[in-house]
Structure 1
Amino acid sequence: MPSAADAATLEEYRLPSSGVRRCAVIYLLALIGLVTVAVLMWKAFGPNTRPVLSTRVQGPDDDPDFLWKVDRETRRKKSGEPDAGPADPAG
């Protein structure tokens, strides 16, 4: 059985009290909260927030307006209508 002196010495080496543990848990939760907020802010306002514009050149065979105009010209030629071409005001 430990003596009174041994018991006094053991008191110095005890684990931290519950108040210190509570404080550590609060700091840990605050750190997790800050990291979460930082990640959300990075995703919202980070460098890749703007959508990437397509730099691919669209060929004429992919353009619906072009295909419609070609189809219209083909139908005109088949039906025998004169080509209306651009009007030249200069003569």
Structure 2
Amino acid sequence: MERRTIPASDALALIEREESHFWDHKSAQSKGTVIQKIAAGLANSDGGEFIVGIEDKGKQAVGLDRWQGYGSIEDATIVLEALARDIEPPVPYSI
């Protein structure tokens, strides 16, 4: 897995994008079961995308500070593990 950096303007666009039936975001603190539920829900409907690492609106963080992410690639394995286990049929995903 490769670590990528995106421009602040792209990060802000993702942070400010409104949640919908096709787009969602979750905190980096989300449990694996929450990630599985979102992935399965999107897979069982018309599809969509979600990102893990953006704090919800209304928390203390605002703007780019809502982008929390993970401290290391190893810390992000909770997302991969959640997507790779206990979901049948498997859902396609990209990192």
TM-score (norm. length: structure 2): 0.18
- TM-score normalized with structure 1 length: 0.19
| Higher share in strand | 2
Larger Rg: 1
Q: Going by fraction, where is helix more abundant, 1 or 2? A: 1
